Structure 1
């Protein structure tokens, strides 16, 4: 029997644990989560989109695992009675200058084997009557779901399969000893043959505790959301995204129908002052010190200084946020949106300031570390798990 310990109770960690108990029923699986419940951070604060895989480089892990993950997530929800909807989305060009980027995105989506169509303004209006578009890319396979509900179901299945699920168990040390990998937590020690680190916002720190050199550092970016007031939800039927500018690191604010019928707007992207910094008032001296002493962040800042200022201005001004949304749906005004919380993206940054634009999984002796798994990791989670578990040796017991 092989003893596995999975660090992190977000959707990637729970999916990995579920794949282990499914593929290796004779082995022991323990999940460690520092919070009191599951999906407490990135998973529980995201937009709930089942992404199709439009934006990612063909052949990359993101492209292949997102496309497969979109299908497997829908299958999982259908099999377990979880609410979901494959509603499709529009990526909208609001002026002629964006058309070359929209066509390039269409080519990339086709290269990834996705069911997409370039459509004109009239057909875009059939999908979204209130949208401002000179053209759009219709992505039929995009959907919506509650990833928190998915995590609760995964935890239920894990418990039924005999997995050891431990909350309030923050990892404070990792030591590779002759008897196994000893993981010290605030709730005691766990000895395993294989450690799988899916700690999200703290993944690089867990790797360093385990003695594994990390080629990146996690830097947190807060994404702030508004939502449309109930009486204005009818302005959006599904998902409306802008054409992304490849010069900038994030997608830009967009409009997303949620599975509960609300419509969220956002997120922007501002540097957070804590790895769990869901507001400007949350400040961690340790996290800020890590950011300020990392040359990769300074290099990124020099490269995207103006973009960063724009994002901060949009964070501080409801009017600016609403104006960004009005480029997509001109009828939207500041009176039509209200604050709706925030999420924090764990972004891996290279020492030269480059953003790691693919999933990054580092393997060491009897250890696996998922060091970069931002969006579309929730969509791809079941396939990330399949990918990781398929690469494990058949017999990993010491």
Structure 2
């Protein structure tokens, strides 16, 4: 058990045995953290769970700033966690939304090759989808026009299981269900210090000065996950390099140009899906994202910069290796960020009728991209375990889609660790 002994000069809470405030502390109130709390309460009724979220409400960052797509799992390497969790998570997400009256729709989507040299990649993607058990159809130009009259392409894949939903509403439902089962979600609770004692547990201090003691900690801090891991005294193998996803939306008078979801053929060298067209649950059509480096972990525009965070990003060797390796791709993204005309040109590959006047800016998001020291972009979920802790260091798309099975996976690891300690 644990009791805090904190002096005015200490940066960390130190601890000696006394008692626990809870069994598991979850850092981060996004959809993955809340799904983990929900899964813990379902797997072991009576377990005491506290979620610490630094914002005033849940889902204000990656969960609430994505395109709202329920991904099918077609893109992901067979056998990867992403492939396994996406297909399972998509079906579960649709069922969860239906059970809890959350707006959603299974729309299907088109992945369109606009140039002949993209056809081999499109066919390879179809093969990967079949290996992952994804139902799909390959379409020709006439069939593309039947589904999306204003979209042009050489060929396409139709994926029937893709859909859309309201992920902030999903996160709110997970928080409510977890709290109904006895968990607690504390907002405005930014973690500033973590002290871990082998065989004892974890003590965490928040910015308000509150100290909580737990048997185990789960780090689901998203954009700040590597920083939380370092607070715990661990050396994560990757660092978060933030990429801002910039969006436009169609003005209402042009929204009927897109019926559903339309994606380009992705470049397999990057974990980004390219500029795509998404009719959301509200009926509006979002176009993007354009991916550029962010100047802060929460840098949602070029005006927002955090010198300390930017310095940490630039100090990580992997950041420079990405820049050297992919400067040509990155320069194109930057050009589209700074030029609406260039962005419009990219959109017109899929939607030739579009003009600059059809587009208006929409809220941006920031992706917490984990990058290894050698510059490798981590393309799968990265979960690292240490004494009394589980760190979710990379939870890229389709993390929202797959949040229910991911939450169970993380909860299982935490409970297994607690059982080992008890034994």
| Global fold match (TM > 0.5) | yes
User: Is 1:80 the counterpart of 2:100 in the alignment?
Assistant: yes
Q: In the aligned structure 1, how far is the partner of 2:267 from the partner of 2:226?
A: 29
**Contact 2:201–2:388 (Cα < 8 Å) also in 1:** no
Alignment of 1:288 onto 2:299: no
Structure 1 residues without counterparts, runs of 5 or longer:
none
Matched, 1:237 2:237: no
**What CA deviation, in whole Å up to 9, does each residue of 1:339-395 have, x standing for no partner?**
001000000001111100100000111210000001110001111011112233263
Which of these residues, 192, 199, 219, is aligned with residue 241 of structure 2? 219
Aligned residues: 398
Within 5 Å, give how 1:120-135 maps onto structure 2. 120-135=140-155
> Does the 8 A contact of 1:3 with 1:397 survive in 2?
no
**Residue deviations 1:177-205 (CA, integer Å, cap 9, x gap):** 36421011113111110101000000001
User: Which residue, out of 107, 115, 118, partners 1:98?
Assistant: 118
Q: Secondary structure at the match of 2:240?
A: strand
> Deviation digits for residues 109-151 of structure 1, max 9, x if unmatched?
0000001111111111111111111110001000000101111
Aligned 8 A contact 2:240 2:370 in 1 = yes
Match of 1:159 in 2: 179
Structural RMSD (CA): 1.3
For 1:21-100, what aligned pairs fall within 5 Å after superposition? 21-100=41-120
Deviations 1:193-247 (A, max 9, x none): 0101000000001011111111000000000000000011111011000001223
Determine whether 1:16 maps to 2:36. yes
Matched ranges for 1:303-318 at <5 A: 303-318=325-340
Cross-structure match for 2:419: 395
2:193 is matched with 173
Secondary structure at 1:27's aligned position in 2? coil
Map of 2:207 onto structure 1: 186
Equivalent in the alignment of 2:226: 204
Question: Are the counterparts in 2 of residues 193 and 397 from structure 1 also a CA contact under 8 Å?
Answer: no
Which stretches in structure 2 are left out of the alignment for 5+ residues? Answer: 1-19
The aligned counterpart of 2:376 is 354
Instruction: Indicate if the aligned counterparts of 2:242 and 2:294 stay in contact, CA closer than 8 A.
Output: yes
Partner of 2:182, secondary structure, is: coil
Deviation per CA, 1:88-127: give whole Å up to 9, x if none: 0000011211100000000000000001111111111111
Q: 1: distance between equivalents of 2:420 and 2:104?
A: 37
Kept in 1, the 8 Å contact 2:196–2:388? The answer is: no
TM-score in terms of structure 2 length: 0.92
The runs of 4+ residues in structure 1 deviating greater than 4 Å are none
